[in-house]
Structure 1
């Protein structure tokens, strides 16, 4: 049976969120390419230490902004610190492995970076407060990230010419930014909430104009309207955190053409459910929203609920395999799963 999708991926596709266990980029990339041939991605390996973490990896892409590691975490500095160099080296090794192992690959390929709001809530200014506390610093960070991300995308395209690059911004901190619950650097206060239009504007400024873009937010209370206003092409979230009150907003986004990457398998070690059990809630949600079942497998991609860095390599492989099999089940019998 041939499944058709109007999106960059084939219908009945699955993918991962980003992080993996282990410290061997080539070994991990071989596994990703093998388990997810229709929508592979560049895996992240935070077990390699400082500089392989989400914040440090993205900070290494910033243009004309230097960072270093202090006891409190990443901080802007006059010149790049040693750990910033490690971050660049880690990413360079990952890209070398990609160029070697993905020779001849043609199709969608996803990369991930930390989004501007989570980054602003994580990196401190030189005087010690978080970047999020200074709107001018947030603007500078956003502009620098946009330029660095564009260069990163161009670099991936040069190494894998047949790849259609998808860019995922990881924004687990965005709900807290909007709610005003991000702690100050001292931990004794909370930073002011950012207004939704400003949050959307900064996100939009980072998204490459010529690239399919998505935002991953594994926190409760995903800000669907902010993401839609920002113009993202897809929203990635943990399906287990969805509540019925969110369904209207999800339906609005789907109606507007937004794709969803739904996390349906736990990212940490657990007993994996049967394929039908994994796929059934997704099919049920689609039916409640009243959309054509034939669209489901094209507009929805299945993923683990979050990164897999805390799992074993064997579990990571099994989780991706289960997502792929459940995605195919959704394509083959969406109505049967919804009614079972």
Structure 2
């Protein structure tokens, strides 16, 4: 699994500008928000925390005296640096918070709203609609990012995903450019051990077969679709019932899925994009209850990530 150059889609604010803040309009400042949200979500794995980080960065900008704002050559680069530092602080405290989290912690899944409303336009006021859905936000990629130290994650995401120069990353991390290069290289080694992404059509076909087998409660079919060493991880946050520990082994996962189907009458499964790749969404009476992401290798499901924590499904409420 390699990093996509999200700088090509999300845009890079890393380059220093030539116009000072005195020549920058309020619209120009506000226009940085989409880029900052995309960076912050990849750094934090949480859309709500990303939005908070960006709002804090803007609050700090507007708290500056006008004379100080006028001295800043590139407000976009300033906002990016401040957002990165805020995210670094959040990542540092997140580990302690997640130790108290009930069950496994997974990143917040993102919907593709166009699937729900047949190509409707983007709501620029909604952070979920401002996210660029590419390889750098797949659940598999975000889970790998979770294995990194906060400094590694910041260096890797800013450089390898968004193409920020190490000189600017050094300002975020408070380290030398050389040290930031080493951090990014260390993070890159973690990414390389992950499976390479498969074609969307292959992923969609595997997910479709899982849906069909689940709906018919066909344990044998599910076992055939799952790698014998497959792992399912669920995140309920202690707010809804779910497996508190990862379920390992295709046979056990298949049995668990069918048992859930037996206990969930009226649950409807939909094939929907989850973080930019084919996944499944379970809803009851129009309300999204569960979002599932998959990793596929050699035609079989190797990993399943199930998010049921309702606090992490808020972006999906607006997708209806």
TM-score of the superposed pair, with normalisation by structure 2: 0.27
| More helix, by proportion | 2
Larger Rg: 2
